[in-house]
Amino acid sequence: MDSEFLKSQGISLDLALEAREIIRGETGREIPGVRVDKETYSHAVVTTVHIEDEAAQAVMGKPVGKYITIEAPVIRENNPEAHREVAEVLAAQLKKMAQLSMESNTLVVGLGNWYATPDALGPKVVGKCLVTRHLFKYAPQELQGGMRPVSALAPGVLGITGIETAEIIKGVVERIQPELIIAIDSLAARGVDRIATTIQLADTGINPGSGIGNKRAGINKETMGVKVVAIGVPTVAHAAVIAQDAIEKYIQSTGGRPGDASAAINNVLQPFGGNLTVTPKEIDTLIEDTAHIISGGLSIALHPGINPDDYAYYMH
């Protein structure tokens, strides 16, 4: 799998870690202007990719900034204790990236289409998020120490609302004036092994739908006027990439001669305009579990003074 094939298929990689892996595989060395750190936990590996200059930005196809990838295959397992650890790892990384004061007003935005399960991660997280901004205004006696004002929004998608998502968010931002936006979205991965096993945080914001070829207005500091941290989880993979990987593995196993499979793949995918993504049959459960982990990580990061056992009390 190389970058030329991805370009020929019109595929852009949502995960900075995948982009780095492909480019490093082609060059055999680290990309100039890219720095990588790695941490290992019991149930997760955290890799931070720093894109430090415009030259690296051009090579990676990602804006200058920090991209934190949490790889945790245990997300797919029925293991609440391990899921809690992943949530705590997410919270620790989010706190480092956000650098919030206790008075900071935060807006959580769940991007995506609540009617399409693979795209419903953002709205699901919002539904589980511990929101408190109204309590600061209307019921301060219900608050405990160590809570921040947090509000949440699931603005839907252009096809449902007829309004650009960025326009809706911008209007809310102008009204409530948060210091930080946390945007949660579903991503497209290069390979199926990344689906619901990987969480990416980025301090560069997000372009909704970019991984599946939709060009929507960006949600970032430039467009919103405040800092944006994006949290994304791959929920689909590109069919063209899966087909290419299958062909390459077949060639390797049979000793056949490699060739350009792009034409054959394009022919198969032609009824779908060459752009087809796939998702596992158990995606409903995966979305539910992943949303629970992310909402837990947000609560731990944004409300450090609240015991996790008390979260349910504040949900209503």
The domain locations on the chain are 3-307
In the prediction, which pLDDT does 185 show?
96
Report d(CA 241, CA 190) in Å as an integer. Answer: 6
Tell me if 147 sits within 8 A of 140, measured CB to CB.
no
Please provide the average confidence, as pLDDT, over all residues in the chain: 85
For residues 135 and 96, what is the distance between their CA atoms, to the nearest angstrom?
Answer: 26
Contact 52, 32 (CB under 8 A): no
3-state secondary structure of 8: helix
Cross-strand bridge partners of residue 183: 109, 230
Rank 75-84, 175-184, 258-267 by mean pLDDT and report only the highest.
175-184
What would the mean pLDDT of 264-277 be, rounded to a whole number?
Answer: 64
Lowest mean pLDDT among 48-52, 57-61, 270-274, 287-291: 270-274
For residue 237, what pLDDT band results from cuts at 50, 70 and 90?
confident
More confident position, 17 or 108: 108
Assign 85 a pLDDT band (cuts: 50, 70, 90).
very high
The CATH number of 3-307 is 3.40.50.1450
Angle at 40 between CA 35 and CA 44, to 5 degrees: 110
- Residue 176, amino acid: I
pLDDT average, residue stretch 134-152? 86
Write down the pLDDT at residue 316. 41
pLDDT digits (tens, 9 = 90+) for 87-126: 999 999 999 999 888 889 999 999 999 999 999 999 999 9
CA–CA gap between residue 82 and residue 162 (Å, rounded): 40
pLDDT number for residue 49: 95
Give me the pLDDT at residue 140, please.
Answer: 82
Confidence of residue 177 (pLDDT cuts 50, 70, 90): very high
Phi then psi dihedrals of residue 104, to 5 deg: -65, 135
How far is residue 279 from each of residues 71, 177, 237, measured CA to CA in Å?
18, 37, 7
Which regions of 52-102 does DSSP assign to beta strands (E)?
65-71
Give the pLDDT band of residue 311 (cuts 50, 70, 90). low
Q: Pairing state of beta strands 227-238 and 106-110?
A: unpaired
Report the candidate in 192, 103, 198, 115 with the shortest Cα–Cα distance to residue 159. Answer: 115
Residue entry with tokens 């560069």: 204
Percent of the chain with pLDDT over 70: 82
pTM of the model: 0.86
- What does the alpha-carbon distance between residue 69 and residue 48 come to, in Å, rounded to a whole number? 6
Residue 250 has pLDDT above 70, yes or no: no
